[in-house]
Amino acid sequence: MTTHATVAPTATPDPAGPLSVEEAILASFVPETRHDPYPAYEVLREAGPFVPGPFSLQIVSRYAEADAILQDSAWSHANEPAFLHPDSDGSDLPASFLWMEPPDHTRLRRLVTKAFTARGLESLRPRVEEVAREIVDDAIRAGETDVVEHVAYPLPLTMIAELIGVPPEDHASVRAMSAGIARGLDPDTLLTPKELQARVDGAAHFRDYFEKLVAERRARPKDDLVTALAQVEAEGDRLSTGEMIATLTVLLVAGHETTVNLLANGVLSLARNPDQFALLRANPELALPAVDELMRYDGPSHATTRMAVKDMEIAGHSFKEGDGVLILLASANRDPRAFDTPERLDLTRYAQSASVPRHLGFGVGLHYCIGAPLVRLEMECMLRELARRAPVMTLLADPPPYRPNIVVRGIAELPVRFEV
């Protein structure tokens, strides 16, 4: 049985000099280093494939072991709440199939997969382009703008809300409810009582909200995901009401809280690397492969967990059934054992060679991100729009302030001047 340990969220690593392994572990989780956890990740990778970490979990920071574990059915994701949220009864963690294993995972994931295929989403392209164009127009017109608030939030929030069937007048309230749940994905010991309460409140709001929306769609069906799931639920044993609400909640939260951070990180990375932005402007067809490079280089998903479902040995390390690992996806994506010059942003990386390893920013295996095609579409359209309008993007704060979040890392505010 795994025990629950704490990291001290208030200690700060010594900024001078190279980090020890203990300091690197700390620096991977404390708010003070959220703006740049990559030097800490490097120390962890050099320390070995498995490093004893907090919450009695072994930290996995190298690509090979992260990739192998995520694809191995001997590792389960169902135990994440027990590792990171041991005191929750689960009602405030509406994660649906993200934290399930087959057969329930298969049953629930299959019900929504159709809505998120790349081919199915192509019909949304004109709408995504329209929203991206309006956003970039507004940013250029404003001159100085907070990219997180005015560029990164509106596109993914609008698109996932429209797909699910949340009407425009409710976008602001579902966004407010989502933030508490996204922060609540972090280990409970790193959350303040207020943040824990925000997670509970967010989940309760979503339960009420979706119950009402489902009742409305039952009375007047529409062409949206709420209607589709409500029909499945009405058919009987394939979907319970609780499962339906948890699924809608996870899609809504994961469907924008993550992409917001990718968009903001993307603008930051391009503004810091003007040669790469110039390359994109000259070659707008790089927009799609650029999405994957921006995901690899500074993607928002930093951590996930897995639990061993049997005894096994990997890279000389013995795991017992019930042992857990904390996989640092963003560290694996910077592993020089897998990627040439991983610390360099190279928008041509995924355009040039099919032999570049896939990044782990969307995970891999059974739990591979169901929203990846939607993210690619939204981010590609935004990059094309930025390249087409060719603004000069000047950072007005570098580094910008970051949210404390670990599981989904992101910028709190990104003031940028847009000039054409």
Give the residue, chosen from 33, 76, 258, 265, that forms a contact with ligand HEM under the rule CB under 6 A.
Answer: 258
Of 216, 199, 206, the closest CA to residue 174 belongs to 206
Residue 349: CB minimum distance to ligand HEM, A: 17
Alpha carbon distance 82, 80 (integer Å): 5
Q: Does 13 bind ligand HEM (CB under 6 A)?
A: no
Of 21 and 357, which has the nearer Cβ to ligand HEM? Answer: 357
The 3-state DSSP class for residue 79 equals coil
Of 19 and 209, which has the nearer Cβ to ligand HEM? Answer: 209
Q: Does 97 bind ligand HEM (CB under 6 A)?
A: yes
Maximum Cα–Cα distance for the chain, whole Å? 64
| Burial annotation 142-163 (CB, 10 A radius, 16+ → b, else e) | eeebbbbeebbbbbbbbbbbbb
How many CA atoms lie less than 13 Å away from 87 in the CB half-sphere? 10
Residue 41: CB minimum distance to ligand HEM, A: 16
Of 160, 171, 147, the closest CA to residue 395 belongs to 147
Q: Does 362 bind ligand HEM (CB under 6 A)?
A: yes
Residue 166: CB minimum distance to ligand HEM, A: 13
Of 124 and 390, which has the nearer Cβ to ligand HEM? Answer: 124
Q: Does 255 bind ligand HEM (CB under 6 A)?
A: yes
Give the residue, chosen from 26, 59, 213, 262, that forms a contact with ligand HEM under the rule CB under 6 A.
Answer: 262
Q: Where in 274-303 is the site for ligand HEM (CB under 6 A)?
A: 299-301
139-to-158, 290, 391, 414 alpha-carbon distances in Å: 17, 22, 10, 12
Of 213 and 370, which has the nearer Cβ to ligand HEM? Answer: 370
Alpha carbon distance 305, 78 (integer Å): 9
Strand locations in 323-414, DSSP E? 324-328, 392-395
For 315, the token pair is: 């890279």
Stretch of residues binding ligand HEM (CB under 6 A), selected from 27-35, 61-69, 222-230, 254-262:
254-262
Stretch of residues binding ligand HEM (CB under 6 A), selected from 41-49, 189-197, 221-229, 253-261:
253-261
Alpha carbon distance 94, 113 (integer Å): 18
Stretch of residues binding ligand HEM (CB under 6 A), selected from 19-27, 39-47, 210-218, 365-373:
365-373
Residue 207: CB minimum distance to ligand HEM, A: 18
The CA R_g of the chain, rounded to the nearest whole Å, is: 21
Secondary structure letter of residue 284 according to DSSP: G
Residue 296: CB minimum distance to ligand HEM, A: 11
Asked if omega into 103 is within 30° of 0 (cis), the reply is yes
Q: Does 61 bind ligand HEM (CB under 6 A)?
A: no
Stretch of residues binding ligand HEM (CB under 6 A), selected from 9-17, 166-174, 246-254, 348-356:
246-254
Alpha carbon distance 97, 94 (integer Å): 9
Which residue has 């560029």 as its token pair?
151
Residues in a beta bridge with 51 = 59
Give the residue, chosen from 109, 171, 183, 334, that forms a contact with ligand HEM under the rule CB under 6 A.
Answer: 109
Residues in a beta bridge with 419 = 392
Q: Does 374 bind ligand HEM (CB under 6 A)?
A: yes
Residue 20: CB minimum distance to ligand HEM, A: 29
CA angle 301, 167, 106 (to 5 degrees): 45
Q: Does 116 bind ligand HEM (CB under 6 A)?
A: yes
Contacting residues toward ligand HEM, per CB under 6 A: 77, 97-98, 109, 116, 160, 250-251, 254-255, 258-259, 262, 299-301, 304, 329, 361-363, 367, 369-371, 374-375
